[in-house]
Amino acid sequence: MTWRVAGAARATTGKRANQEDAFEIWPSGAQAATRSGESLLAVVADGMGGHAGGEIAGELACRTFVSTFTGSGGDVGERLQVSLDAGNAAITAHVAANPGLKGMGCTLIGAWVDGRGLSWVSVGDSLLLLFRAPEVLRLNADHSLGAFLDDQVQRKKISAVEAEKNPYRNALRSALTGKPIEIVDLEADPYPLADGDWLILASDGIATLEGDEIGDIVYANRDAAPEKVAESLIDAVLAKDTPDQDNTTVLVLKIAEDVAVAAAEDAPTRLLRPDIAPVAALRPDDDGVETTQRIIQPPAYQAIIRRHRGALLGAGMVLMFLVGWMLRALLG
């Protein structure tokens, strides 16, 4: 399958003083980035560790991830893992050179879309959402303590009240901090996509919206460009006017079947027959004189056999039956 992929990203600082989220769309990474093609790499990171540290960590990890992925070859899953490790190592090196930034880090999600489908790697609580009408599904794992606590509630290990009131609910169980990564969600086997799918990579600030709200926004703009969907999601977050609204970044990918390629693949194959009058094909002979290549016709008896092969086959079977009957009569 060949896909046409278009992407766009929008962001807001929310109620925070500055922006600690970062994103990249390869091969274009502008604020209003768009990309149409058969494959696309999208990355979103949510920085942490203070104003300066958070900004640097997110941008550094995104930039390193993209440069490593696009500069390496081999299996997609291996490239995703190597790129993630490279982003983490870049944070390690930067902190070593700038001790005052110790403690900085970020979440990260990197998604690759090609003709086989969607592959991704993620660490932290940033989201990878799939809108396939009418549902919104979260595809990647949530590495926040809150997700772990909610799972414990489902397993009846703790009560819902305990999970909700835990003061560390928003803490991360895994992130890029320059230290060994505790938990990684790597999906190397391509997740199958369908015409009309929408993918959304987002920092956790989008959690201000419920899943149904996200679905309604995407559905209402399903025929629009990804810029419109991204802008509408950010507008909806700001409309909530949440007092402690976090930075929010949404990177939206629109998946559509490449109609031109599909039409070419579905087109019937035409059988081309030569003209009655043969076209002369010139070839050099040993003596250097160009002559017309001879067209060899099959012998006349072959044409007769092809024309009457049904009757001949029937006659042969009757003859075999008569011979067999005569042999049984003589030997019996």
pLDDT category at 175 given cuts 50, 70, 90 is: very high
- In the prediction, which pLDDT does 2 show? 80
- In the chain, how many H helices and how many E strands? 9, 13
Task: Please state the pTM of the whole predicted model.
Answer: 0.76
pLDDT in tens, 316-327: 666 776 766 676
3-class secondary-structure state, position 104: coil
Contacts of 16 (CB under 8 A, 6+ apart): 245, 246, 247
Range name among 58-62, 113-117, 274-278 with the lowest pLDDT average: 274-278
Query: Residue 21: exposed, middle, or buried by beta-carbon count in 10 A (0-12, 13-18, 19+)?
Result: buried
Residue 177: per-residue pLDDT: 95
**Neighbouring C-beta atoms of residue 201, cutoff 10 Å:** 28
pLDDT band at 3 (very low <50, low <70, confident <90, very high): confident
pLDDT reported for residue 228: 98
Amino acid making up residue 244: D
So what's the pLDDT on residue 269? 35
Give the other-Cβ count within 10 Å of 12's Cβ.
20
C-alpha of 196 from chain center: 13
Instruction: Give the percent of the chain with pLDDT over 90.
Output: 70
Higher-confidence position of 92 and 3: 92
Phi and psi, residue 87, nearest 5°: -65, -40
Identify the CA nearest to 251 among candidates 37, 40, 19.
Answer: 40
pLDDT for the residue 42: 97
pLDDT band for 332, please (50, 70, 90 cuts): low
Task: Give 137-178 as a 3 state SS string.
Answer: EECCCCCEHHHHHHHHHHCCCCCHHHHHHCCCCCCECCCECC
Q: What is the pLDDT of residue 329?
A: 65
Q: Is 6 buried (19+), middle (13-18) or exposed (0-12) by CB count in 10 A?
A: middle
Confidence of residue 37 (pLDDT cuts 50, 70, 90): low
Cβ atoms of 65 and 29 within 8 Å: the answer is: no
* pLDDT above 90: residue 39: no
Closest to 120 measured CA to CA, from 145, 147, 138: 138
Strands 290-292 and 198-202: unpaired
Each residue's pLDDT tens digit, 259-309 = 655 444 444 433 333 333 333 333 333 333 333 332 233 344 344 444 444
Per-residue pLDDT tens for 117-171? 999 999 999 999 999 999 999 999 999 999 999 999 999 999 999 999 999 998 9
Q: Residue 98: pLDDT above 70?
A: yes
| 156, burial (CB in 10 Å: exposed 0-12, middle 13-18, buried 19+) | exposed
Q: What is the mean pLDDT of the chain?
A: 83
pLDDT at 122: 98
Instruction: Note the pLDDT tens digit of each residue in 184-232.
Output: 999 999 999 999 999 999 999 999 999 999 999 999 999 999 999 999 9
Residue in the block written with tokens 């046409």:
4
